[in-house]
Amino acid sequence: MDIQDVKNRFGIIGNSPLLNRAIDVAKQVAPTDISVLITGESGSGKEVFSHIIHQLSARKHGPFIAVNCGAIPEGTIDSELFGHEKGSFTGAHEARKGYFEVVNGGTIFLDEVAELPVGTQARLLRVLESGEYIRVGSSKVQKTDVRIVAATNVDVYSAVENGKFREDLYYRLNTVPLRIPSLRERKEDINLIFRKFIADFTDKYRSPSVQLTEDAQRLLTEYGWPGNVRQLKNVAEQIAVLEKDRNITSQTIKNYLPPEGKSNLPMRIPHGNKDDFSERDLLYKVLFDMKKDMVELKKLVVGIVNNGINSSTIDEHSPYINQLYQEIDQPRVEFPSSPTLTIHQPNHDNSDDINITEDVEEVEESLSLVDKESDLIKKALKKHKGKRKLAAQELGISERTLYRKIKDLNLN
């Protein structure tokens, strides 16, 4: 079977030399039992190559399973891969086979393998070296005959250097490296792939055919396609369904593309950075900001009580006053230049209202972070009538962290 036969069988489109090289490597390594590490950006088609390796191997009649390692919680990943015994943990009401036991004699595709916990990496290494594994909660060693094809969209070697991935597992998986080129590395294929997607979707939805102008074809080629083939397919489907004008220009395509170099995704804070904030650090920062605001507010009130609302008081505290108006989103009120402030108080001897001219002493507030933290937790629990889940959400911390703080601060 030559490269074109592989493309026809697995629906691969394109004639890029980098793509042809990747298919050739997959075709050559498939008949062996060597472990393969597939690298490439998200959406570039790594899972398709795992199917090529399985279907062209001697295990093609055996089972095949694809596992997204990044989608399985850390607490259950060992159970999913290796199985567990009844009663081995809370909720284990019966024994369960893991993927390595179910796929015995076949191929398992571990997508996003770099997301595996370090402990699970050690167990995976043992499977690769000896075919042995142990179910969670068991002491019995079991054997499996499984070929492992792994994939990742991160730089695994950098993860090794940062201690996030075992070096011995990296070299064991990387016996044959297979790199899938990104879409921007095979620009000559983009228009061909897009036309194929458009034809498929217009046929599927029974819509009129689509024609691309020259500027539209040029835009498709020049755009970076951070989502690779998956993003291109998504754009093609939207155009096939939504566009009434079937003569597609570059402006039409731009309506379906995010601004290049920008992202609407939430900001990602890298792990291991010395500037990272823990939950406790964030809480302390909030407390210090609140303390600062309270002190400024007290100074402002004392100044108004002592001197009235005059220009000197307004000028002295103008930054804080402006900030207050911005935070409550209200237009600023212009005060008269020198009004007199009169505070009315009830008096038992029916005396006239008096002007307060006494000096007001500022009371020093406790700066203990433990006291502040304890008060906030008490207020949150009182507000939500003792419901810890809602209180944790109000405080911006996990419920587990709240339980620990309640215990540490003796708030039970």
The CA distance from 46 to 10, in Å, is 12
Q: What is the pLDDT along the chain (412 residues), one digit of tens a residue?
A: 789 999 999 999 999 999 999 999 999 999 999 999 999 999 999 999 999 999 999 999 999 999 999 899 888 899 999 999 988 887 888 999 999 999 999 999 999 999 999 999 999 999 999 999 999 999 999 999 999 999 999 988 888 988 899 999 999 998 889 999 999 999 999 999 999 999 999 999 999 999 999 999 999 999 999 999 999 999 999 999 998 888 999 999 999 998 755 544 444 444 444 444 455 566 666 776 777 777 777 777 777 777 766 666 666 666 666 666 555 555 555 544 444 444 444 454 544 444 444 444 554 555 566 777 788 888 888 888 888 888 888 888 888 888 888 877 777 6
Strand partners, 251: none
- At residue 141, the pLDDT reads 94
Q: Are strands 141-143 and 132-134 parallel, antiparallel or unpaired?
A: antiparallel
The CA distance from 319 to 106, in Å, is 69
The CA distance from 338 to 313, in Å, is 10
Burial of 35 (0-12, 13-18, 19+ CB in 10 A): middle
- At residue 166, the pLDDT reads 93
- At residue 394, the pLDDT reads 82
Here the tokens at position 364 are 């020093």
Here the tokens at position 386 are 């003792």
Here the tokens at position 244 are 């009434």
- At residue 323, the pLDDT reads 64
Angle at 340 between CA 337 and CA 342, to 5 degrees: 150
- At residue 328, the pLDDT reads 53
CB 387 within 8 A of CB 393: no
Flag whether the pTM goes above 0.85.
no
- At residue 357, the pLDDT reads 43
- At residue 124, the pLDDT reads 94
- At residue 400, the pLDDT reads 80
Q: 80 vs 123, 344, 399, CA distance in Å? A: 13, 72, 26
Element (H, E) at 231: helix 228-242
Here the tokens at position 370 are 């433990």
Element (H, E) at 150: strand 147-152
With a CB cutoff of 8 Å and minimum separation 6, the contacts of 348 are none
- At residue 36, the pLDDT reads 94
The CA distance from 178 to 212, in Å, is 34
- At residue 140, the pLDDT reads 92
Burial of 108 (0-12, 13-18, 19+ CB in 10 A): buried
Burial of 32 (0-12, 13-18, 19+ CB in 10 A): middle
